[in-house]
Amino acid sequence: GLMAVYTQVSAEGAQALLRLYDVGSLVSLKGIAEGVENSNFLLETTQARFILTLYESRVNPDDLPYFHRLLEHLHAADCPVPRFIEDRQGRWLQEVAGRKACLIEFLPGISVSEPTAAHAVAVGMALGQMHNALKSFTETKPNPLGQPSWRSLFNKCDAAATERIQHGLSSRIEQELDWLDANWP
């Protein structure tokens, strides 16, 4: 299977990180496939399980405090989101293997390969709860993959490959991007 681990972490690196915390000592560290742009590990200590996330180059470290505040807000509203674990000095952002990193609360669960209607209902309920909770979250952050970036993303695509998907698709996408530029939102 495809692993979402771009940066390896040694046992010594994990032990050095854990010395900053009061969460027990290292039992195991395993790379996990969940995640698309960061390196994620299941880190088990003598006291608990955590997710260790290393933020890779696509993530701007300056954006991390925003996401920390967002998750804190959702957690305070009893949404099922993981918390960032703070070290003895109250720091939630660390550096591991040359990357910004966070030790994150482990929430039990599995990635379902064939979701049922009941799974869809549960996801919808959780999303609704999060949307309601965020009505009182006043901070905003531009979406780096939002409409202003779509043309440059499309321009990075191989035009011949786009045409192989469907003849005329490139010009249809160009027309749609022109329309969106003129009419957004």
Model confidence pLDDT, tens digit, residues 66-118: 999 999 999 999 998 999 999 999 999 999 988 999 999 999 888 888 999 99
Judged by DSSP in three states, 130 sits in helix
Kindly state the average pLDDT of the residues 48-59: 90
Instruction: Give the pLDDT confidence of 106-142 residue by residue, as tens digits.
Output: 998 888 889 999 999 999 999 999 999 999 999 999 8
Residue 1 confidence (pLDDT) = 42
Q: How far is CA 102 from CA 4, 54, 122, in A?
A: 16, 7, 27
pLDDT at position 185 over 80: yes
pLDDT at position 3 over 60: no
Judged by DSSP in three states, 97 sits in coil
